[in-house]
A and B are shown apart, each in its own frame.
Chain A
């Protein structure tokens, strides 16, 4: 199952979570520095959130703008 982390595609198994996508993209450590994960509509996601095929997620500083507003 392909998902996109900051526009980079990664492959994960069904049942895997946001955390897995971040590990796969080599970005998990960034979460230690108060960064957060958002979906393509700008909603924050929990690290244990389920992924779905084609999902686009973004890791960024909590105060920066999200890619799209709702």
Chain B
């Protein structure tokens, strides 16, 4: 069956035809009997008319009762869903796109319209409170206020919900006027494994499952003391139990579409998986085994709509689609618009906040051709934050300068506008040398690959052939050991080979068995990955703590002429 609307339409047609036929037969019979009674003088003309009206009324009543009885046998509910919102409250133009999408006032307006049509649940499949400034600058409080206003029914915790640490997460959970789920998370009591919602007599069980990779995708301290079980074993445990208590079993999943497919194939008893994490745009529900999988892309650019027809505790029909959210003047939902504007104003206020005094100009102009004090400063902060021996970053990642005087958060954000984070890997001395050779190989062209460093000093000759320009390197005051191993902090862009750097990629490639040991992620080569915290925020916080800054150039990069 394609959908409930078709079935309902068929039923009404058949009932209508039957009723019409029955009514015609009854009308003929009644007409015949009344004629005999009138002719025999047993009743008068007025009485005959009244009897006819009574018969028509009874017929309509029978039809209504039949219809009502049929409706009592089945019910229709609607699931509205979003995932991976990441604080994108305002409409925006996605990279490579020429149109504006998303925006909570427009998403909310559509939710309101769809809710009026059917008994509905509004669900989130995680990663709501961390992402862009609208969320990050308030550690997700803005998002939670909006979700409460929207009357969300439940949400699964996503890996990025842990990015501000457990205390902040507990605060957000305490603010939420809806359950936040995490059946496979042990050690955080505020998370509930599941919840059962009732919609017009239909019991819907919602189980929350998050990726078990949380400990290796956020800072280890954020998940200290927590344990994450496998999605399949967790779903098996709860789906079986809840199948007996509910008509519909839904897994709110933040494990990504490929893992959702595995879940659907391996675990019996799940009717629907409402997914997130992989930011997948599933335009029509995917049906695998007896499970439907849906996911609504990302950033509130789409709203997922899934209608379920339920009979005798089983889903017997469905219709689902995604609705892309586009801003349209005059269509804003007022409460969400007010929340969006309120926090936008606060974002502007925070960005304008004076956090320190720069006692010197911070040079972001010459970062593609020589050592600068701003390059040193950022590289030092990264080394400090990751505990690495040295830092090597691309000058091109530093986009502008900061003038001597007041430093505001927006100045730091202008210097580091990209969503980059700190990664630290183990490199050999030889790999560091190769990385530096690559870094200075296009200094003539002023390319962004030119390095800014911390913890090491090197000399190079730009007049030499590319690949033979590095002359001396020392780490912590000693000549580099080419066969020795050093931990090197960089940003995630270089770590995956951005700007042509290969050394980090080689280290990642040769690294196996990522795990968390003693609160830190350990692979063979990867020692730090701070994906939940943007570099600009790390730098801004460091500056804020210092109050006065005066970084210098100190001969870390020496050009030999």
Residue positions of A touching B, CB distance < 8 A: 1, 10-16, 18, 20-21, 23-24, 26, 31-36, 39, 41, 43-52, 55, 70
Residue among B94, B97, B258, B529 facing the most chain A CB atoms (10 A cut-off): B258
Give 6 closest A-B pairs by Cβ, nearest first: A15-B217, A46-B279, A49-B279, A46-B298, A11-B509, A24-B496
Contact check, A35 vs B96: say whether CB atoms are below 8 A apart: yes
Minimum CB–CB distance from A59 to chain B (whole Å) comes to 10
Minimum CB–CB distance from B521 to chain A (whole Å) comes to 8
Question: Chain B contacts of A48 at CB under 8 A?
Answer: 84, 86, 279, 298
Contact check, B213 vs A15: say whether CB atoms are below 8 A apart: yes
Q: Known: A15-B531, A50-B256, A70-B286. Contact between A44 and B281, CB under 8 A?
A: yes
What 1/0 mask marks residues of chain B from 152 to 177 whose CB sits below 8 Å from any chain A CB?
00000001000000000000000000
Residue positions of B touching A, CB distance < 8 A: 84, 86, 94-98, 159, 211, 213, 216-218, 256-259, 277-284, 286, 297-299, 423, 492-493, 495-498, 505, 508-509, 514, 523, 526, 529, 531
Question: Chain A contacts of B96 at CB under 8 A?
Answer: 31-36
Contact check, A13 vs B259: say whether CB atoms are below 8 A apart: no
Partner of A13 from the list B280, B497, B508 (CB cut-off 8 Å) is B508
Residue among A33, A35, A50, A55 facing the most chain B CB atoms (10 A cut-off): A50
Q: Once the chains are docked, how many angstroms separate the CA of A52 from the CA of B217?
A: 12
Contact check, B531 vs A31: say whether CB atoms are below 8 A apart: no
* CB closest residue in chain A, given B97: A34
Partner of A49 from the list B95, B280, B284 (CB cut-off 8 Å) is B280
Residue among A32, A33, A43, A47 facing the most chain B CB atoms (10 A cut-off): A43
Contact check, A45 vs B217: say whether CB atoms are below 8 A apart: no
Minimum CB–CB distance from A42 to chain B (whole Å) comes to 10
Q: Once the chains are docked, how many angstroms separate the CA of A33 from the CA of B95?
A: 10
* CB closest residue in chain B, given A50: B277
Q: Known: A32-B96, A33-B96, A49-B280. Contact between A13 and B258, CB under 8 A?
A: no
Residue among A39, A45, A52 facing the most chain B CB atoms (10 A cut-off): A52
Can you give 28 A-B contacts (C-beta < 8 A)? Answer: A13-B423, A13-B492, A13-B508, A13-B523, A13-B529, A14-B213, A14-B217, A15-B217, A15-B529, A16-B492, A16-B531, A23-B493, A23-B497, A24-B497, A24-B505, A32-B95, A35-B96, A41-B286, A43-B282, A44-B281, A46-B280, A46-B281, A46-B298, A47-B94, A47-B95, A50-B159, A55-B258, A70-B286
